[in-house]
Amino acid sequence: MNAPLLRVAGVTKRFRGVVAVNDVSLDVPAGSICGLIGPNGAGKSSLFNLITGYLPLTAGEIWFAGRRIDGMDTHLIAEAGIARGFQIAKPFPELSVLDNVRMGALFGRAGPRDVAAATEGALALTGLADLADRPAMTLTVGYLRRLELARAIAQRPVLLLADEPCAGLNPTETEEIVGILRQVRDRGVTILLVEHDMRAVMSVSDRIFVLDAGSKIAEGAPAEVARDPRVIAAYLGAPEAAG
Amino acid sequence: MMMAGGTLPGMLAQGIAAHRGWIALALAALVLLALAPLYLSPFHVRVAQLFLLSAALAIAWSLLGGFAGYWSFGHTAFIGLGAFVAGLVETGWTWPSPALAFAVGLLAGALACALLAGLIAYPILRLRGIYFAIAMLGVAQVLGELNNSIDAFKGTMGIVLPQLAPRAVEPATFYYYLLLVAAAVTLAIGFAVKVSRLGYGLLSIREDEDTARMLGVPTERYKIQTFVLSAVLTGVLGIIYAHSLGFITAGSVYRTDFSLNMIVYALLGGMGTLIGPVIGAGIMVVLTQIVLGRLLDTHMFITGALLVILVMLAPRGIVGFVKPILARWRGGFR
């Protein structure tokens, strides 16, 4: 297999004694969709915060496209090609949908001449073209999720970190988001996906990493992971009995 | 749907095309203002001059305060610093002509403002919200105090600035035109910022700075650049203002009411817009100088009360108040 696009190697994050991420290593192959799952508080969002440089690591290394990125400034990591969609959608509320998405394109990797194309493309892909002039704060949750994705897509990322893009959505809306993610992947964007909706994440992912209490407890193809007793124990809370 | 490219000339062209109406309005106002000395009384020309200064200062303040949401409560620091550095340079040496003295003074004053802003930007712009505002208030106080108490800076004695107006021209008229040019340049710079990548970046900082960073916006660099730009523009306006006064002391250029007025004009007209500070300055100057000018005893009180009422009626400024109404209007005609 090729060298992974993203390599998280022995990464640890401590907040004053609390270990949020504990010696986690994972490789995300280029062109794949990888799922990152685990119970609440497992360290998934913390890991995203570490990858995007929002928080400094306590130990370990993060490599992206052959470059070591831990310790780099957040905006430079974004420039290198990592885009992030937030768990709680964070559009710029006062700006229009169009300006939100354009913001992604302007500061992404599209290049000055392709800003318009990147913006239009992202709006079309997420089905937001008709809402372009609406202020972001007037959107429903479902459309906010799309906007969150659209802005990230407009950045023309190499790697998209999607943090629960389906949270709070009904099954139909979830299907639509999954469809968008597949299309994004088909355009060559690698995706690391945190998602609680098991059906969604199992159906879309090529590979799954499972975190529990800050540590990686399992990794593999969706079907393998679903059978893994440690994973079942982590989710169902059954203690030693399962292992 | 209008789509902007991302190159600076492309974005400028796009911005000009998208704001054709506003630009026509600004040019018309410019012509009207340029002819004002022909049809206005000397008193009203002075009022118009105060309007130009106020509007331009409010725009300069707005680059950081309105676009990026970093409210400075001490922008008078740059008015005072610019004025005094220019004054000291112009009077400290003999220059062959007043025009040359002014040019050198302007350059030195602007440079001093850029230096000060650049120096304090890194520590001070890490403070957000009210902390930044208070820190700037402190900077202005300290600077004013230093200027006042160190004899070499002549803050207490004062400086008599060289007269720039040629003999044939009435000084009031001369400074009116100088300020008109400065205000037009400030507005043009503000427009270029607004429609460029920098302007978008500043908006994203105002909306959510952490998210902006993750989008790849170089937030630190943009804030520092804009702070320096805002400081330089404010300083240049302060230098021209100082010359129009002819004689300055620390008390006449380091003025807390300058700092506050810039905020009030932007707030009243509409934060984050360019027309807002202009409208705000227009309303307040007309109100205080003309309408209430005769009520000497009560005019500060009435001004304050009117301000409270206006802010309560239109919390998002005049622009925020009028925009939805205009939109509905246009919708009705379709």
Between CA A200 and CA A183 the distance in angstroms is 15
Per the domain annotation, does B209 fall within a domain?
Answer: yes
Q: Domain range for residue A49?
A: 1-77+194-243
Q: Closest partner residue to A113 among B6, B201, B211, by Cβ? A: B6
Per the domain annotation, does B175 fall within a domain?
Answer: yes
| Cβ within 8 Å, pair B3-A132 | no
Per the domain annotation, does A70 fall within a domain?
Answer: yes
Q: Which residue of A has its CA nearest to B218?
A: A75
List the single range of A127-136, A150-159, B164-173 with lowest mean pLDDT.
B164-173
Q: What is the mean pLDDT of chain B?
A: 90
Per the domain annotation, does A184 fall within a domain?
Answer: no
pLDDT band, very low/low/confident/very high, at B4 (cuts 50, 70, 90): low
Q: Cα(first)–Cα(last) distance of chain A, in Å?
A: 31
| Cβ within 8 Å, pair A90-B213 | no
Per the domain annotation, does A33 fall within a domain?
Answer: yes
| Cβ within 8 Å, pair A107-B216 | yes
Q: What contacts B334, CB < 8 A, 6 or more positions away?
A: none
pLDDT in tens, B55-71: 999 999 999 999 999 99
Per the domain annotation, does B225 fall within a domain?
Answer: yes
Per the domain annotation, does A187 fall within a domain?
Answer: no
Kindly calculate the radius of gyration of chain A based on its CA atoms and give it in whole angstroms. Answer: 18
Q: What is the pLDDT of residue A126?
A: 95
Per the domain annotation, does A53 fall within a domain?
Answer: yes
Q: What contacts A120, CB < 8 A, 6 or more positions away?
A: A129, B1, B3
Residues of B in contact with A115 (CB under 8 A): 3-6
Mutate: best of B214, B221, B223, B273, partner A, most A CBs <10 A: B214
Q: Which of B56, B88, B28, B13 is nearest to B237 (CA)?
A: B56
Per the domain annotation, does B295 fall within a domain?
Answer: no
ipTM of the complex: 0.84
Per the domain annotation, does A209 fall within a domain?
Answer: yes
How many alpha carbons fall within 13 Å on the CB side of residue B114? 11
pLDDT band, very low/low/confident/very high, at B334 (cuts 50, 70, 90): very low
pLDDT band, very low/low/confident/very high, at A192 (cuts 50, 70, 90): very high
Q: What is the pLDDT of residue B330?
A: 66
Between CA B26 and CA B16 the distance in angstroms is 12
Please count the structural domains in chain B. Answer: 1
Q: Closest partner residue to A132 among B1, B201, B204, by Cβ? A: B1
Q: What is the pLDDT of residue B254?
A: 96
Q: Domain range for residue B142?
A: 47-255
**Edge-to-edge strand ranges of the sheet holding A59-64:** A18-28, A6-15, A59-64, A67-68
User: Could you give the residue ranges of the DSSP H alpha helices within chain B?
Assistant: 8-18, 20-39, 42-62, 76-92, 98-124, 130-149, 171-195, 197-207, 209-214, 219-245, 250-253, 256-269, 275-285, 299-313, 317-333
Per the domain annotation, does A61 fall within a domain?
Answer: yes
Per the domain annotation, does B174 fall within a domain?
Answer: yes
Q: What is the mean pLDDT of residues B233-258?
A: 95
Please count the structural domains in chain A. Answer: 1
pLDDT band, very low/low/confident/very high, at A241 (cuts 50, 70, 90): very low
Per the domain annotation, does B104 fall within a domain?
Answer: yes
Residue A240, pLDDT above cutoff 60: no
Q: What is the mean pLDDT of residues B29-41?
A: 92
Joined together, the tokens standing for residue B287 give: 């109100």
A38: domain CATH number? 3.40.50.300
Q: Which of A107, A120, A154 is nearest to B3 (CA)?
A: A120
pLDDT band, very low/low/confident/very high, at B54 (cuts 50, 70, 90): very high
Per the domain annotation, does B291 fall within a domain?
Answer: no
What are A85's strand-pairing partners?
Answer: A162
Per the domain annotation, does A145 fall within a domain?
Answer: no
DSSP A96: B
Mutate: best of A88, A103, A156, partner B, most B CBs <10 A: A103
In degrees rounded to 5, what are phi and psi of residue A230?
-65, -35
Q: How far is CA B35 from CA B31, B40, B198, B290, in A?
A: 6, 9, 34, 20
B10 touches chain A (CB under 8 A): yes
Q: Which residue of A has its CA nearest to B222?
A: A75
Q: Which residue of B has its CA nearest to A106?
A: B6
Q: Closest partner residue to A102 among B4, B211, B213, by Cβ? A: B4
